[in-house]
Structure 1
Amino acid sequence: MEFHDYIRAIRKGWIFIVIFTLLGVATAAVLSIVRTPEYQSTSKVFVSVQSMGSISDLTQGNSFLQNQVQSYADVVNTPLVLQPVIDTLGLDMSVSDLSSTIVATSPSDTVIVEITAANPNPEDAARIANAVASSFESAVGNLVPPNAEGVTPVKITVLQAASVPALPSSPNVPLFVAVGTLVGLVIGLGLAISRYIFDTRIRNEHDVEAITDAPIVGGIAFDARTPQNPLVLRDDPRSPRAESFRTLRTNLQFVGVGNESHSFVLTSSVPGEGKSTTSANLAIAMALSGQRVVIVDADMRKPRLADYLGVEGAVGLTDVLVGRADPSDVIVRWGDTNLYVLPAGRIPPNPSELLGSAAMVELIESLEKSFDIALFDAPPLLPVTDAAILATKTGGALLMVAAGRAHKNQVRGAISTLANVGAKVAGVVMTMLPTKGPDSYGYGRYGYGYGYGYGIDEPAPVVVDTDDDTPRKRSKRSKAPVGR
């Protein structure tokens, strides 16, 4: 992952980071509240050498003590020292229990032993620390017998008696909160980054570019109203989403420059990626720019274009391919535009064979001669082979990729399906792009933005009935000049 990937992961997973950071703070606060306060009190003893000899002997003895003082500190936690403390103070605990509350340390290069006692009661902490220091003094005297002169070589002197602490040493609330915040933040970051790494869905153009070298020719934002109003160029022509289809139309002018074919297959990896609505709106956008466009519903399994465009779909592509009808008899003009529609017709039992037939090749050639551009709305690539077969006979496939819906392996599979039959991906169109968040739809890249609206040179299409000129959604039927 690159740096910008981590930034994107953090932006996408910020909610996890915030939640777990707050949980860390809350957990630390609760632990600080429920944990019993503990007080610590420290007494200090000085270990010295008593010698009747010269100053040189005394100096050597002190050097020896500095090397051995840690051994004396270890004596503090032995039963020899702690049992008398239990007996003297009447403590209701064993030697091991008392030892777990006592810490004896010796600062480096000193002969001082610090004895720290911890207890929920501050007075008891001070009493125990002082009692341990006194017991340690007696124990060392018993451990080190007097010399020939009757003098005990090692002497323990209490330097500082333990005092009653005013504040508890634990829990350390600021430290608890700091650690809780850090732990929560680390967990949140880990979850956000892991979620990003293991996310198998296509989220943005970066994910597409990691899969294929095919150009991204457009992006269509998600609109919850699409099922009810699929033709945004007709129903809301001044919206940014409508503008994105015009941008797609413009970008397609640079796809396949020098290619004699003027036809494209619009398909997707799996159903539900906005293939048919994109096909219909793109065809309208092209027709409004002055091009003569024909759109063919080549999805002979679940045809939808006839319903979207409001044309009669009982007779169509199937009838042409089996020789029951001539293209000019079934291709209808959509309103007063330059858009012509060839519906799918009746659903045949062998759509793949029909799309791969010589009659289909002849029809494609005829449409390319009669129209400036021919668009074929084909089924998804992974469930059936129809689109792959058709793509080999046209200028290539425009692959719809729905953000947040299509999985990376599905897109790879779709591209492999096209490559296996020798078809090319002319471009990728991202659909259902989110309008908010780090992967939000970028109008600056795929469209003109909110500031520009609908072009005055392209009037909104109005479909007029042939009888009373009342605007309505259903197209009138008129023959198109198509030869075979």
Structure 2
Amino acid sequence: MELRDYIRILHKNWVIILVLTVAGGVAGAAYSFLQDPKYQSTTQLYVSVRSEGAATGDLVQGTTFARQIVASYVDVVNTALVLDPVIQELGLDMTAAQLSTQVSASAPLNTVMIDITATDTDPEQAAAIADATAASLTSAVQTTLEQPATPDAASPVQVTTVQPAVVPTEPSSPNALLNIALGTLLGLAIGIGIGVLRTVLDTRVRTLHDIEQLTTAPLLGGIAYDPSAQKRPLIVHADPRSPRAESFRSLRTNLQFLNIEGGPRSFVVSSAGPGEGKSTTTANLAIALAETGARVALVDGDLRLPRVADYMGIEGGVGLTDVLIGRVELADALQKWGRGQLFVLTSGPVPPNPSELLGSVAMDHVLAALTEHFDYVLIDAPPLLLVTDAAVLSKKTRGVILVAASGKTNKHDLTGAIRSLETAGGQLLGLVVTMLPTRGPDSYGYGAYTYGSTHDADGTKTTSGKQRKSAKARKRTKTPA
């Protein structure tokens, strides 16, 4: 993954990340609020070895011994030997094991100091436990652990309280600010993790970059999503000045460069699955090609679920199937559309054997006649993964233009369609991505600068200069120049 992929993940999942981050902070605050405040108080002891009248060397040895023995005294603090007297003195209703969870001891490195810390919900009780534990440890060391040589003699180890416990005024826990910070960071990490997981598990095509990662075939164009596409599928005819119409013209230009080596300009337009915009793409591309003055034949090769006749607004009762079975002549089945040189050959009646008809010798004769009399022949074919019709037609034409819908086409389906085409011996000429979002992290800048006169809805002619467009369009449009 590149840096732009991570930025896209943050941009795409910012709502989830923000919600979980805030939720984590709120959870930390709620945890702090629900916890009983606890107070800590510390008593500090000093451990030394008696050396009355001893030489300097004895003092050094005594200090070294004290440092070594301090660690053992720290471990003794949480034993019953020390805590049982504390329970009796303070009248606590608990065992030594329970009290040990409230008492801790530590010794700073290379010192003879012992810090005894007591924790309790009552600040005065915390100070009392700390002092009582210190006194009990002192007694245990001097009378039991380090017994004097004779009953009247003093213990060789002396434990002195240098800092008695002080009643705390502020609770030591919960630390609200720390809990809120930790909760916020945890929520942020979970949000980012979910965003990354969603991206990794998302198998649908989202951007043009996804297409580039799946195949080395050229990307011929990107068509933005139009919520009103069902109402006006022929956008090049209905709104020729719109940025979406310009996208089809860019596709037209790229298609013209596919025929640099010469040969028949017959192309099959298909997709991996249904509902990805292949029929509208074929129809709009045919209109855009006809705008240049070229003679274009638009053939509805989808003999199972034809759409071209409905989109073009013409009668589809007589068409390709009639020509293939010899019922109608090709010239009689072609219908002129619009003011240019665009002719439409509808599918005609739905036959029981579409694949056999499309793979027949009669279909070869039809394609030969069309490529002889027309500059471009565009065939709208069924999806590649559902039936073999498109694969059959691909071997009779220049190749296949594969349409994929952003947010709908599955990456595995797209790669499967490409493999199916390769297995059949067809050639993949390029891909067109439709339904690209115009907003959000996956947005595609499809607008274009327009210069010249346009017409309003009432027919009034207006002149406009540059109109705003997204800078992404220049970067992502791959129109050869």
Asked if Structure 1 and Structure 2 have the same fold, meaning a TM-score greater than 0.5 normalized by the shorter chain, the answer is yes
Judging changes above 3 Å, is the alpha-carbon distance between structure 1 residues 453 and 16 closer, same or farther for their aligned structure 2 residues? farther
Match of 1:329 in 2: 332
Judging changes above 3 Å, is the alpha-carbon distance between structure 1 residues 241 and 455 closer, same or farther for their aligned structure 2 residues? farther
Match of 1:212 in 2: 215
- After TM superposition, give the deviation of residue 453 of structure 1 in Å: 6.7
Question: Does the aligned pair in 1 maintain the 2:269–2:400 contact within 8 Å?
Answer: yes
Question: Does the aligned pair in 2 maintain the 1:259–1:395 contact within 8 Å?
Answer: no
C-alpha distance in 2 between matches for 1:386 and 1:168 = 77
- After TM superposition, give the deviation of residue 303 of structure 1 in Å: 0.4
Q: Which residue of the other structure, out of 449, 452, 455, is the alignment partner of 1:451?
A: 449
Question: Does the aligned pair in 2 maintain the 1:238–1:454 contact within 8 Å?
Answer: no
- After TM superposition, give the deviation of residue 10 of structure 1 in Å: 2.3
- After TM superposition, give the deviation of residue 195 of structure 1 in Å: 1.3
Question: Does the aligned pair in 2 maintain the 1:70–1:106 contact within 8 Å?
Answer: yes
1:144 matches 2:146:
yes
C-alpha distance in 1 between matches for 2:250 and 2:387 = 30
- After TM superposition, give the deviation of residue 190 of structure 1 in Å: 1.2
Question: Does the aligned pair in 2 maintain the 1:243–1:453 contact within 8 Å?
Answer: no
Question: Does the aligned pair in 2 maintain the 1:238–1:453 contact within 8 Å?
Answer: no
1:364 matches 2:362:
no
For 2:382, what is the secondary structure of its paired residue? coil
Q: How does 1:107-118 map to 2 (within 5 A)?
A: 107-118=108-119
1:276 matches 2:279:
yes
The residue type equivalent to 1:292 in the other structure is R
- 1:188-215 per-residue CA deviation (whole Å, 9 max, x = no partner) reads 1111112111211111111111111110
Q: How does 1:43-54 map to 2 (within 5 A)?
A: 43-52=43-52, 53-54=54-55
- After TM superposition, give the deviation of residue 64 of structure 1 in Å: 1.0
1:426 matches 2:432:
no
Aligned-pair Cα RMSD in Å: 1.8
C-alpha distance in 1 between matches for 2:298 and 2:138 = 102
Greater shift, 248-257 or 397-406, is seen at 248-257
Q: Which residue of the other structure, out of 391, 403, 406, is the alignment partner of 1:403?
A: 406
Q: How does 1:224-235 map to 2 (within 5 A)?
A: 224-235=227-238
Match of 1:62 in 2: 63
- 1:159-218 per-residue CA deviation (whole Å, 9 max, x = no partner) reads 001101111111111211111111111111111112111211111111111111110101
Q: How many residues align?
A: 455
- After TM superposition, give the deviation of residue 450 of structure 1 in Å: 4.5
Question: Does the aligned pair in 1 maintain the 2:246–2:448 contact within 8 Å?
Answer: no
The residue type equivalent to 1:29 in the other structure is A
For 2:214, what is the secondary structure of its paired residue? coil
Match of 1:481 in 2: none
For 1:182, what is the secondary structure of its paired residue? helix
Judging changes above 3 Å, is the alpha-carbon distance between structure 1 residues 262 and 232 closer, same or farther for their aligned structure 2 residues? same
Q: Which residue of the other structure, out of 294, 297, 315, is the alignment partner of 1:294?
A: 297
| TM-score, normalization by structure 1 | 0.91
Question: Does the aligned pair in 2 maintain the 1:38–1:168 contact within 8 Å?
Answer: yes
C-alpha distance in 2 between matches for 1:20 and 1:441 = 28
Question: Does the aligned pair in 1 maintain the 2:42–2:166 contact within 8 Å?
Answer: yes
- After TM superposition, give the deviation of residue 300 of structure 1 in Å: 0.4
Match of 1:93 in 2: 94
Match of 2:129 in 1: 128
Match of 1:478 in 2: none
- 1:366-408 per-residue CA deviation (whole Å, 9 max, x = no partner) reads 1111111010000000000001100111111010000110111
Greater shift, 52-61 or 199-208, is seen at 52-61
Question: Does the aligned pair in 2 maintain the 1:239–1:453 contact within 8 Å?
Answer: no
Match of 1:41 in 2: 41
Q: Which residue of the other structure, out of 373, 377, 388, is the alignment partner of 2:376?
A: 373
The residue type equivalent to 1:65 in the other structure is A
C-alpha distance in 2 between matches for 1:255 and 1:436 = 31
The residue type equivalent to 2:20 in the other structure is F
C-alpha distance in 2 between matches for 1:408 and 1:256 = 28
Question: Does the aligned pair in 2 maintain the 1:43–1:129 contact within 8 Å?
Answer: yes
The residue type equivalent to 1:85 in the other structure is V
Match of 2:224 in 1: 221
Match of 1:159 in 2: 162
- After TM superposition, give the deviation of residue 275 of structure 1 in Å: 0.8
Q: Which residue of the other structure, out of 343, 351, 354, is the alignment partner of 2:354?
A: 351
Match of 2:107 in 1: 106
- After TM superposition, give the deviation of residue 454 of structure 1 in Å: 8.0
- 1:311-366 per-residue CA deviation (whole Å, 9 max, x = no partner) reads 11000000001111111101011132221100000000001011011111111111
- 1:120-154 per-residue CA deviation (whole Å, 9 max, x = no partner) reads 11111111111111111111112211135812100
Question: Does the aligned pair in 2 maintain the 1:256–1:426 contact within 8 Å?
Answer: no
Q: Which residue of the other structure, out of 283, 303, 306, is the alignment partner of 2:306?
A: 303
- 1:271-300 per-residue CA deviation (whole Å, 9 max, x = no partner) reads 000011111111111111211111000000
C-alpha distance in 1 between matches for 2:293 and 2:347 = 25
State the identity %.
51
Question: Does the aligned pair in 2 maintain the 1:39–1:167 contact within 8 Å?
Answer: yes
Question: Does the aligned pair in 2 maintain the 1:267–1:398 contact within 8 Å?
Answer: yes
Greater shift, 220-229 or 154-163, is seen at 220-229
Q: How does 1:434-445 map to 2 (within 5 A)?
A: 434-443=437-446
The residue type equivalent to 2:116 in the other structure is I
| TM-score, normalization by structure 2 | 0.92
Please, which runs of 5 or more residues in structure 1 have no aligned partner? Answer: 444-448, 463-484
- 1:77-101 per-residue CA deviation (whole Å, 9 max, x = no partner) reads 1111111111111111111111000
- After TM superposition, give the deviation of residue 455 of structure 1 in Å: 7.9
